[in-house]
Structure 1
Amino acid sequence: MMRRAVVLCLGLLASPVVAQEDPASAALRAKGLLEEAAVALDHAQGARDRVAALTQTVKAYEAGLAALRTGLRQAAIREKALTQELNSAQGQVADLLASLLTIGRSPAPVQLTHPDGPTGTARAGMILSEVSPALQAEADTLARDLDEVKTLRALQQTAADTLREGLRGAQEARTALSAAISDRTDLPTKFTADPVKTAVLVASSESLGSFADNLGQIVAGEELEGGPDVHEQRGMLELPVQGTILRAAGQPDAAGIVRPGWVIATAPGALVTTPAAATIRYLGPLLDYGNVMIIEPGPGILFVLAGMEQVYGEVGQVLPAGHPLGMMHGAGVAQGEILTQADTGQNTETLYLEVRENQEPVDPDEWFKTDKE
């Protein structure tokens, strides 16, 4: 019986211990980010440049919501793993406790004797003295795991309220940002677009590339010289939206269609901003791409962004770096979908990004920084 107890104890102690990130702390830090974003929203309403302040506020909400969803996913995974470990160890612990109880109920004279005589008795005592600390360590580990499970479950129970508050704050910031952009009148204009020529070009274009290459035809009158130049920032630009690259340039989609740009997965309602100072060459619906924004950050260079629900600005305006271009679909996602997104960790919207140089598509990897760097 004693030997069985020792074997069970050593089996429990031999289980591998894997260091894991603390998901509860990560989720709490994300909650702090959302609280800071709420404070920033209050301050942005009275800021001198409300568009810039609200843009940063919306991005702060997006970062906080993304971090909270990540923390909650990790918490759910960790809680499930701990529960499985505790359930699997339950039988072993029960057998071990039963063995020890049997030993404890044995009469004292019996405990002090051993079939092999005094030497065996001494060895048995040494084994028990080694097992006791191990049992205490295992009990401490189980207690910590149980406490962590309780903490993780409590964290997930309060997640819905935290996410809803963050979503409401983000939507309020988006609404305020849209109003601030509509009220803005201080942006310079490089040229004016002819609406008739624009409509003709839209109707006659058979592809995104051909449309972009003929944008010079829609200018009404003379176009002002000068403007932004992005050549020195080649390879160092941030993505125009918070998200992950779903398909690289030249990678076929499920239907086998190959495009020269990136497909970027984003959260619903994500804000799209200018990667660099640029002139708006076109904005509006085009072909089957939904709303399209084409900006010119430098001579002969075009950034094409497609798939937004809303687009901001007017053709010919010169925008500073980081200025809002539009928002992705799904800003008003239903409350019931929030936790689903947290569970799956999947971004549900996609933005198409194409870069064209001298009327030829180039891999956006030449211009934008990615996680691989």
Structure 2
Amino acid sequence: MKLRATLLGLMLWGGSAAAETDPADAAQDAALLLEQAGVALSEADSARDRVRALTATVQAYEAGLAAMRDGLRRVSTREGQLTAQLRAREDEIAQLLGVLQTIETSEPPVLLLHPAGPMGAARSAMMLAEVTPGLNARAQQLAQDLDEVSTLRTLQEDAAQKLEYGLAGVQKARSELSQAIANRTDLPKRFTEDPVRTAILISSTETLDGFASGLAEMADGEISSSSADISGRKGALGLPVQGLVLRRAGEADAAGIKRDGVIVATRPRALVTSPTAATIRYLGPLLDLGNVVILEPQPDTLFVLSGLQEVYGEAGQVLPEGAPVGLMGGAAPEIGAILSLSGDGTGTDRTETLYIEVREGGSPVDPDEWFRTDKDG
């Protein structure tokens, strides 16, 4: 329960809550999320379903690291804004400090003397009484700005240690997850793959469409029937990976090529999970698509995921919703690279791409009909 609550909090933080906090709070909250992910990793050893616990832990680390990147970006942006404002007001600040120092260092009797006598002194006192609150307000604002700059710089200096902790934690969690999946024996199977027939099908097809069609034909009479029905969840499924949609179905890429699925940009080594309970129909290398996972959530419906570096499981296994199916490729960025991107909000750290295609009755359909592709996954 603690693990589930931790992950829920991470996901909720990653949405609107992050936008409502100031940069310093955002960075501090992100550090707390990484600490909570570390606690979840230590608790995963005693979890009854270790695969599920470690899956949640990896996702928690990914959410925490994403929050830290966003927090650092906002901290860097805010610190730059304040620094620029202070530099632009150097003359004003110097004048303000000079006035304040003059007032503070002058002896009280001197302040009471005026060439025009008591009346002039009274007028001067009245003017000073009116000016002093404004000077104090400006001085207080200056002190607050300088204090905020100092706080933000301290947060950036401390970020390296937090990032190192998070990166080491997620790497350990991924390694333990891979081992836990390899040791798993409790998943039901709807069929046993014939590697020879699969190899013949791969060698005889030149396109994903041809392979998927051949895969459907191979199922006749060889796979136990299924009554699964997720049609009521159309349009409500989350993306199988944390990422941003780069290109939708039917949109041409730079080479003018249009595809039937969507392309999602992800960070290196991002965890890919099954968006719903489903049977693994195929997983492994296919054509020039890299590693491919084909899931069957209900009869005559296939979810095709391609571009993974590692894949988990075996063809025929029935996965529960949220079960890991693989990892994206790429190398995890060094701490220095993450810090150098802290002021960049363009998503340049999402270097990997996952292709998602949905097929119904042997034909591709727009994934937008099934997935919430308008949100960060």
Fold equivalence (TM over 0.5): yes
Match of 2:276 in 1: 276
Matches within 5 A, 1:186-265: 186-219=186-219, 222-265=222-265
- From the CA coordinates, give the structure whose radius of gyration is larger: 1
Structure 1 residues 253 and 21, CA, compared in 2 at 3 Å: closer, same or farther? same
CA gap of 1:221–1:361, structure 2 versus 1, over 3 A, is: closer
Structure-2 change in CA distance of 1:164 and 1:343 (3 Å): farther
- 1:364 is aligned to 367
Instruction: State whether residues 216 and 362 of structure 2, in contact with CA within 8 Å, keep that contact through their aligned partners in structure 1.
Output: no
Which of the residues 346, 349, 353 maps onto 1:350? 353
Give the Å deviation of 1:93. Answer: 2.1
Native 8 Å contact 1:243 1:265 kept in 2: yes
Deviates more, 1:192-201 or 1:30-39: 192-201
Aligned mates of 2:217, 2:370 — CA distance in 1? 27
| Cα distance change of structure 1 residues 101 and 73 upon mapping to structure 2, 3 Å threshold | closer
Q: 1:189: Cα distance to partner?
A: 1.1
Query: Residues 16-61 of structure 1: CA distance to partner in whole angstroms, max 9, x if unpaired?
Result: xxx9841111111111111111111111112111101111111111
Q: Give the Cα–Cα distance (whole angstroms) in 2 for the partners of residues 278 and 328 of structure 1.
A: 20
Residue type at the aligned position of 1:356? R
Equivalent in the alignment of 1:86? 86
Counterpart-to-counterpart distance in 2, 1:193 and 1:59: 30
Contact 2:268 2:352 in 1 (8 A): yes
More deviation, 69-78/96-105: 96-105
* Deviation by residue 1:277-334 (Cα, 9 ceiling, x = unmatched): 0111111112222111110111111111111110111111111100001011135444
Point out the more displaced range, 60-69 or 21-30: 21-30
Indicate the RMSD between aligned Cα atoms, in angstroms: 2.8
The answer (yes or no) to whether the contact 1:191–1:220 under 8 Å persists in 2 is no
Q: Counterpart of 2:180? A: 180
Moved more, 261-270 or 74-83: 261-270
Matched position secondary structure for 1:61: helix
CA contact (8 A) 2:245 2:374 kept: no
Alignment of 1:22-101 (within 5 A): 22-98=22-98
Give 1:161 deviation, angstroms: 1.3
Does the CA contact (< 8 Å) of 2:76 and 2:342 recur in 1? Answer: no
Query: CA 1:364/1:122 → structure 2, altered by over 3 Å: closer, same or farther?
Result: farther
CA-CA distance at 1:123 after TM superposition: 7.2
**What are the superposed Cα offsets for residues 197-248 of structure 1, whole Å, 9 maximum, x if unpaired?**
2112222322222222221244596210115322121111111011111222
Task: Say whether 1:293 aligns with 2:293.
Answer: yes
TM norm structure 2: 0.85
1: CA distance, partners of 2:222 / 2:54? 34
Q: Is the 8 A contact 1:192 1:219 kept in 2?
A: no
CA contact (8 A) 1:260 1:354 kept: yes
- What letter matches 1:337 in structure 2? A
Secondary structure (helix, strand or coil) at the match of 1:289 reads coil
In the alignment, the residues of structure 1 paired with residue 226 and residue 281 of structure 2 have an alpha-carbon distance, to the nearest angstrom, of 15
Q: Which amino acid aligns with 1:44?
A: A
| Alpha-carbon distance in structure 2 between the residues aligned to 1:159 and 1:256 | 42
1:166 aligns with 2:166: yes
Q: Distance in 2 between matches of 1:70 and 1:22?
A: 12
Distance of 2:255 and 2:116 partners within structure 1 = 78
Task: Compute the displacement of 1:99 (Å).
Answer: 6.5
Cα distance change of structure 1 residues 372 and 181 upon mapping to structure 2, 3 Å threshold: closer
Q: Is the 8 A contact 1:193 1:220 kept in 2?
A: no
CA distance in 1, matches of 2:135, 2:242: 49
Contact 1:283 1:311 in 2 (8 A): yes
- Asked if 1 retains the 8 angstrom alpha-carbon contact of 2:73 and 2:341, the reply is no
Do the aligned residues in 2 keep the contact of 1:197 with 1:217 (CA within 8 Å)?
Answer: no
In the alignment, the residues of structure 2 paired with residue 188 and residue 170 of structure 1 have an alpha-carbon distance, to the nearest angstrom, of 29
Whether the 8 Å contact between 2:303 and 2:356 is mirrored in structure 1 is: yes
SS of structure 1 residue aligned to 2:64: helix
CA distance in 2, matches of 1:85, 1:132: 23
- Structure 2: distance between partners of 1:62 and 1:138: 42
Tell me, in whole angstroms, the C-alpha distance in 1 between the residues paired with 2:138 and 2:217: 76
Matched, 1:144 2:144: yes
**Unaligned ranges ≥5, structure 1:** 1-18
* Alpha-carbon distance between aligned partners in 2 of 1:258 and 1:150, rounded to the nearest angstrom: 50
Helix, strand or coil: the match of 2:85? helix
